């Protein structure tokens, strides 16, 4: 009997990346954006039914996308856009609908100035809607042409979507929790424009030494160096806002997540610039180093910011606190886990690259990475355990019943933190 079965390893890679991108980070950060625009604009959310429809469509896309990938149906091995078109379409509509809600709320705001976070949200939603449409059109994507579009898509889905939403989130939550203004509004605006101008150009650095035009790759590397401007402006701005506020960080359940997010934004993005240089790519391209880097950014930066926002804003919205013990365990398991994960894969990648440059037989690069993969498995288990604790805490902050005394004591703790 011929068994119809799909390789678990191939399907898992795709389900993991698309699931974390569009099933987790996109939904979480869109939720934060909807909350923040309404709060900072001083008006109720514009077109609330559209936001609800967006939530439904995000989940439809995540379920359909995951199931179809598991069945071996995919859009080719195009990283981060493997979902077949009828799973990707609900995602696009979800982004557009919640974008309309975000934009309409800002347009109808009662404040005269548009708060910094809303700059990031508007540019993020507008660019991502354009990106998703452009990259979904198939007519100009054949052979090497598709490689060019893939490099463009792969990095823009990170930079124009997650980076903009996460920075907009941090620009709201950080000053809110510290109860002080952001250090520099201008540095924040500089970040908006430089991200918008530099980010779209750097995609080809995923295909260095490929047959893509050499000048096109060089341009991508130059702009990758340019990315230091928004990264250092942003992370410097956050750190200067935090200056002297470390006592509050120590007491607060949510600020530590934001601090880690900011630190990984700085480290991971600066690493990305160094990694884009041709000399680095000659050693690290195709190795696990890249996978370590993507976890430093998508997990260390984006996911920690989303967690910080959830722990900060959900209790304010529902009046229900999270479990302090579970929050602390979540934080340490996730932080130690991701740090160990990134270090293990960076070491594995370096070992692989050195084995190739030395001209050893290919299998020696697999063997040299082996011990580090054991460390990665341990780190991955810690990260997974932290997610279970987060799920429990989300339950505590939303559906669970609390006694008034517990709510009062948690509120005291939150206020005392500042």
| Rg (alpha carbons) of the chain, rounded to whole number | 22
Kindly tell me which of 19 and 200 has the beta carbon lying closer to other proteins: 200
- Assess contact for 115 and 185: CB atoms under 8 A: no
The distance of closest approach from Cβ of residue 357 to other proteins in the complex, given in angstroms and rounded to an integer, is 5
Q: What single string gives the DSSP state of each residue in 47-103?
A: THHHHHHHHHHHHHHHHHHHHHHHTT--SSS-TT--S-HHHHHHHHHHHHHHHHHHH
Kindly tell me which of 134 and 391 has the beta carbon lying closer to other proteins: 134
The distance of closest approach from Cβ of residue 287 to other proteins in the complex, given in angstroms and rounded to an integer, is 7
| Separation between Cα atoms, residue 217 and residue 204, nearest integer Å | 5
Q: Which residue has the tokens 């060089």?
A: 218
Kindly tell me which of 49 and 215 has the beta carbon lying closer to other proteins: 215
Kindly tell me which of 286 and 384 has the beta carbon lying closer to other proteins: 286
Kindly tell me which of 151 and 315 has the beta carbon lying closer to other proteins: 151
The distance of closest approach from Cβ of residue 14 to other proteins in the complex, given in angstroms and rounded to an integer, is 6
Q: Which two tokens stand for residue 133?
A: 């449409």
The distance of closest approach from Cβ of residue 135 to other proteins in the complex, given in angstroms and rounded to an integer, is 7
The distance of closest approach from Cβ of residue 294 to other proteins in the complex, given in angstroms and rounded to an integer, is 10
The distance of closest approach from Cβ of residue 210 to other proteins in the complex, given in angstroms and rounded to an integer, is 5
| Separation between Cα atoms, residue 140 and residue 159, nearest integer Å | 23
Kindly tell me which of 82 and 414 has the beta carbon lying closer to other proteins: 82
Kindly tell me which of 327 and 350 has the beta carbon lying closer to other proteins: 350
Where residue 264 falls (left for φ over 0; alpha for ψ -120 to 50; beta otherwise) is alpha
The distance of closest approach from Cβ of residue 392 to other proteins in the complex, given in angstroms and rounded to an integer, is 32
What is the three-class DSSP state of 319? coil
Q: What single string gives the DSSP state of each residue in 150-201?
A: HHHHHHHIIIIIIIHHHHHHHHHHHHHHHTS--S-HHHHHHHHHHHHHHGGG
- Assess contact for 160 and 131: CB atoms under 8 A: yes
């Amino acid at each position: 009997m011929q068994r119809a079965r799909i390789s678990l390893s191939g399907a898992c890679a795709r389900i993991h990346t698309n699931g974390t991108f569009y099933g987790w980070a996109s939904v979480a950060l869109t939720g934060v954006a909807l909350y923040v625009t309404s709060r900072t604009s001083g008006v109720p959310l514009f077109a609330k039914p559209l936001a609800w429809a967006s939530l439904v469509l995000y989940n439809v896309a995540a379920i359909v996308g995951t199931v179809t990938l598991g069945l071996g149906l995919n859009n080719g091995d195009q990283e981060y856009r493997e979902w077949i078109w009828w799973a990707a379409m609900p995602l696009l509509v979800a982004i557009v609908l919640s974008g309309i809600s975000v934009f309409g709320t800002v347009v109808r705001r009662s404040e005269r100035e548009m708060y910094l976070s809303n700059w990031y949200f508007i540019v993020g939603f507008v660019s991502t809607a354009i990106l998703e449409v452009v990259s979904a059109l198939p007519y100009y994507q054949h052979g090497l042409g598709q490689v060019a579009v893939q490099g463009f898509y792969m990095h823009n889905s990170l930079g124009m979507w997650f980076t903009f939403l996460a920075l907009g989130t941090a620009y709201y939550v950080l000053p809110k929790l510290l109860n002080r203004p952001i250090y520099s509004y201008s540095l924040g605006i500089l970040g908006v424009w430089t991200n918008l101008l530099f980010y779209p150009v750097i995609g080809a650095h995923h295909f260095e030494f490929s047959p893509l035009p050499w000048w096109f790759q060089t341009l991508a590397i130059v702009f990758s160096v340019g990315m230091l401007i928004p990264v250092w402006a942003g992370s410097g701005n956050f750190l200067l806002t935090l200056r002297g506020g470390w006592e509050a960080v120590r007491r607060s359940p949510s600020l530590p997540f934001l601090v880690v997010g900011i630190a990984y934004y700085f480290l991971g993005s600066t690493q990305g610039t160094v990694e884009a240089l041709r000399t680095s790519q000659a050693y690290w391209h195709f190795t696990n180093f890249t996978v370590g880097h993507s976890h430093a950014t998508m997990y260390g930066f984006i996911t920690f910011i989303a967690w910080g926002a959830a722990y900060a804003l959900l209790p304010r919205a529902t009046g229900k606190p999270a479990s302090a013990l579970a929050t602390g365990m979540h934080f340490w398991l996730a932080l130690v886990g991701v740090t160990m994960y990134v270090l293990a894969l960076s070491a594995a990648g370096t070992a692989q690259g050195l084995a190739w440059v030395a001209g050893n037989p290919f299998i020696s690069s697999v063997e040299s990475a082996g011990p580090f993969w054991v460390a990665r498995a341990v780190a991955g288990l810690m990260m997974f355990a932290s997610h279970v604790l987060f799920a429990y805490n989300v339950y505590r902050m939303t559906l669970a019943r609390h006694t008034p005394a517990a709510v009062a004591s948690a509120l005291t703790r939150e206020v005392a933190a500042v």
